Structures are given as structure tokens and as C-alpha cells.
Amino acid sequence: MEFLDQNKAARMQKLIIAVSVVIPLVVGILFRVRIDVGRDMTFLPSIYAFINGLTAITLIAALAAIKKQKRELHRSMVRFALALSLLFLLLYVLYHMTSDSTLYGDSNQDGKVDLLERTIIGWTMYPYYFLLISHVLLSMAVIPLVLFAYLKAWSGNFEGHKKIVRFAFPIWLYVAVSGVVVYFLISPYY
């Protein structure tokens, strides 16, 4: 494996910081954009929930590979998890640019949760919103963690890589798993 030299690594650090700021901003802006593609895109959440699940499995496989000292397999699994996360992001943005947001508990799909609907969902809205909010916030926080961890490994700084991964791995895994749980909780309201 060829490692990055210090100059390229320094440039990559600046790029990671920029990407870590730009991605959440662009996603937030694109949420306000509506594009009529002429078809119902409500099939996308099930696909990106599947991608989240596959990401979680891939991350666990990557951990198992490195524990068995299989660096090449580990690297391949991490790259696959990164590709899955990028695909998730693209489909997520596509869905939200082409579809109205779905509200938890909006069983008649009128765009609001009335008193009866709120009574029906009761206390379940609290764990749902906790999961959703933590999922969204941690998905933004994990971007620089994962990218810096990857950069450390790519630069041959495996000790630095391990230090970051101690935080990045559980957060990335939580984001992937919580994305699936959030999907299953909101899916009756699509």
C-alpha cells in the first residue's frame, strides 16, 4: 500500500474540513428545493434504509477483518462502507428534493398531526424524535471523523487512525443502525 506524503495529507485535511462543512449546508439548502420528476419517489426511503443496514453490516465486517489482521479486507470493507454512505446521501437528497417530508403519526397524510393522530401515537413520538434528531446530528458529526480516520490510515499513521476510530466507528455504526430504526418507525406514514 502506498501512503500519502505529508504535503498531500495537509491538502486533504483542508479538503475534509471544507467537505464536512459544505455537505450539511448543501443538504440543508437542497431540502428547500422541490423538483417535479413526474413520478412518486416514496420507494426511495426503503432503499436507503436497506443501504444503511448494509453499511452497518459492512462496518462490523471491517472491524472483524482488522481484528483478524486482514488489512486489505478491512480497507475494502471501509471503502465499500464509504461508497454506501455516499449512495445513501445521494438517494436521501433526491427523495427530499422530490417529495414532501413525512410526519411521524400523520396517518391520513394531510401534512399535519392532529389531536387524534397525536393521541394514537402517544409517547412513541419521544423515542422516535430522539432517534431522528440524534441520527441527523451524529450523521453530520461523523463526516469529519470518518474522513480524518481514513486519511490517517492512508498516510500510514495507524496510531492516529486508531485514536479517531475509537469515536468514529461507534458513531458511524449508530448512524447506520438508527437510520434503519427511524425508517421502520416512520414507514407506516408514507
Please tell me the distance from the alpha carbon of residue 99 to that of residue 132, in angstroms, as a whole number. 18
Q: Where are the domains of the chain?
A: 41-189
Q: Give residue 2's pLDDT.
A: 74
All three cell numbers of 86: 455516499
Q: Give residue 163's pLDDT.
A: 97
Distance of CA 96 to the CA centre of its chain: 15
Asked whether the whole model's pTM tops 0.85, one would answer yes
DSSP 33: -
pLDDT in tens, the chain (190 residues): 678 778 888 899 999 999 999 999 999 998 888 899 899 898 999 999 999 999 999 999 999 999 999 999 999 999 999 999 999 999 999 999 999 889 999 999 999 999 999 999 999 999 999 999 999 999 999 999 999 999 999 999 999 999 999 999 999 999 999 999 999 999 999 8
Q: Give residue 3's pLDDT.
A: 80
Closest by CA to 135, choosing from 97, 99, 104, is 104
